[in-house]
């Protein structure tokens, strides 16, 4: 089992542009900061799917899933004593892959959604071991599984079914 002390000693992880990246020279991020980054990414993904929901009914479903993920992460933010921040409004508040999806046309929307889900899978794959609380890590692992399913479904769409 990964312990908080071990994560901090190893340098932890830092949020860079909403993504997890190796820590810089001994800097570490706290659990709340990590959760906040996950929440922001989920909210950005929900916003992006909302912008393209008219292109494909699948995007409506995925928008709802992302909102559910954000709500689950908000619960974990509360568990570590943090409130839920202001939701993102548009490009200045969301990451590049979410913005790419939000701006996609009918031809490029599925491909942009694949890129977004690939980023989210990678994000959660890195985040789960960095979360010291087992219950919070389980929530993140469940969300990781959901994003993996999204990715599978979207890739099948690009393969023609």
**Residue 8: pLDDT band with limits 50, 70, 90:** very low
The pLDDT value given to residue 20 = 46
Give a yes or no: residue 87 inside a domain: yes
The pLDDT value given to residue 25 = 29
| Domain extent for 146 | 30-158
Give a yes or no: residue 42 inside a domain: yes
**Residue 160: pLDDT band with limits 50, 70, 90:** low
Give a yes or no: residue 17 inside a domain: no
CATH of the domain at 144: 1.20.1260.10
What's the number of domains the chain is made of? Answer: 1
The pLDDT value given to residue 62 = 98
Give a yes or no: residue 135 inside a domain: yes
Secondary structure of residue 50 in the 3-state scheme:
helix
Give a yes or no: residue 35 inside a domain: yes
> How far is C-alpha 109 from the geometric centre of its chain's CA atoms?
18
Give a yes or no: residue 4 inside a domain: no
> Do 76 and 139 meet the contact criterion of CB atoms below 8 Å apart?
yes
Q: What is the pLDDT of residues 44-77, one digit of tens each?
A: 999 999 999 999 999 999 999 999 999 999 999 9
Task: Tell me how far apart the alpha carbons of residues 38 and 142 are, in angstroms, rounded to a whole number.
Answer: 13
Count the neighbouring beta carbons within 10 Å of the beta carbon of residue 125: 15
The pLDDT value given to residue 91 = 59
Residue 30, classified by CB atoms within 10 Å of its CB into exposed (0-12), middle (13-18) or buried (19+), is middle
The pLDDT value given to residue 29 = 61
What letter does residue 132 receive in the DSSP assignment? Answer: -
Give a yes or no: residue 24 inside a domain: no
CA distances for 114 relative to 43, 48, 54, 111, 154, angstroms: 17, 13, 17, 5, 6
Both structure tokens of 64: 């709802």
Give a yes or no: residue 23 inside a domain: no
Q: What is the pLDDT of residues 10-49, one digit of tens each?
A: 333 333 334 444 333 233 468 999 999 999 999 999 999 9
**Residue 159: pLDDT band with limits 50, 70, 90:** confident
Q: What is the pLDDT of residues 77-133, one digit of tens each?
A: 999 999 888 877 765 678 999 999 999 999 999 999 999 999 999 999 999 999 999
Residue 86, classified by CB atoms within 10 Å of its CB into exposed (0-12), middle (13-18) or buried (19+), is exposed
**Which residues are 16's β-sheet partners?**
19
Task: Tell me how far apart the alpha carbons of residues 24 and 141 are, in angstroms, rounded to a whole number.
Answer: 25
């Amino acid at each position: 089992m990964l312990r908080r002390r071990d994560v901090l000693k190893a340098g932890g992880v830092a949020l860079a542009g909403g993504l997890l990246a190796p820590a810089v020279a001994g800097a570490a991020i706290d659990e709340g900061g990590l959760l906040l980054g996950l929440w922001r990414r989920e909210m950005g993904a929900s916003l992006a799917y909302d912008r393209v929901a008219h292109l494909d009914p699948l995007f409506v479903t995925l928008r709802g899933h992302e909102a559910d993920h954000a709500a689950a992460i908000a619960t974990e933010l509360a568990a570590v004593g943090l409130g839920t921040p202001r939701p993102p409004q548009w490009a200045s508040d969301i990451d590049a892959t979410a913005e790419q999806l939000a701006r996609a046309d009918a031809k490029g929307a599925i491909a942009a959604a694949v890129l977004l889900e690939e980023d989210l899978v990678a994000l959660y794959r890195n985040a789960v071991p960095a979360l010291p609380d087992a219950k919070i890590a389980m929530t993140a692992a469940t969300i990781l599984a959901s994003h993996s399913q999204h990715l599978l479904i979207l890739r099948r769409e690009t393969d023609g079914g």
